[in-house]
């Protein structure tokens, strides 16, 4: 299966961005979805795991959700800050095969 993300999104500071991650086959609800943030020159770090859980140290501005009707997951970043400018990847699995989405570049205008 594949996970499809928009290539890029842009928004002004203080506003909200929503990044979608659509699963091509199989139910989005059948496997946990994770979201990773990757700043330029750095390794990815987890911002959301198990669909909607937020690791300690990640601001409450980051939230995750699942929508079975569209078979997609979403990462919402509210109160956008300059430091949120980065690439974001969703990730899920089917049996023992783990798949990443193509990534979304978030630009803070």
Partner 1 sequence: QLQLQESGPGQVKPSETLSLTCTVSGDSISSYSHYWGWIRQPPGKGLEWIGNIYYSGSTFYNPSLNSRVTMSVDTSKNQFSLRLSSVTAADTAAYYCARHLYNWNLPSHFDPWGQGILVTVSS
Q: At closest approach, how far in Å is the CB of 18 from partner 1? A: 20
Compute how many residues bind partner 1; rule: CB under 8 A.
Answer: 22
Contact status: 20 vs partner 1 (CB under 8 A): no
DSSP symbols for 17-73: EEEEEEESSS-GGGS--EEEEE-TTS--EEEEBTTTB--TTS-TTEEEEEETTTTEE
Contact status: 64 vs partner 1 (CB under 8 A): no
Contact status: 44 vs partner 1 (CB under 8 A): yes
> Nearer to partner 1 by C-beta: 33 or 80?
33
Contact status: 67 vs partner 1 (CB under 8 A): no
Residues 6+ apart with CB under 8 A from 8: 104, 105, 106, 107
Rounded to whole angstroms, the Cα distance separating 35 from 53 reads 10
Contacts to partner 1 by CB under 8 A: 31-32, 34, 36, 43-46, 49-50, 55, 89, 91, 93, 96-103
């Amino acid at each position: 299966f594949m996970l499809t993300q928009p290539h890029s999104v842009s928004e002004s500071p203080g506003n909200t961005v929503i990044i979608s991650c659509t699963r091509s086959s199989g139910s989005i609800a059948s496997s946990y979805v994770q979201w990773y943030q990757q700043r330029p020159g750095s390794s990815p770090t987890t911002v959301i795991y198990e669909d909607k859980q937020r690791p300690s140290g990640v601001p409450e501005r980051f939230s995750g959700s699942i929508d079975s009707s569209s078979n997609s997951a979403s990462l919402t970043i509210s109160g956008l800050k300059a430091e949120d400018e980065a690439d974001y990847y969703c990730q899920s699995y089917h049996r023992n095969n783990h798949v990443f989405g193509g990534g979304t570049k978030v630009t803070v205008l």
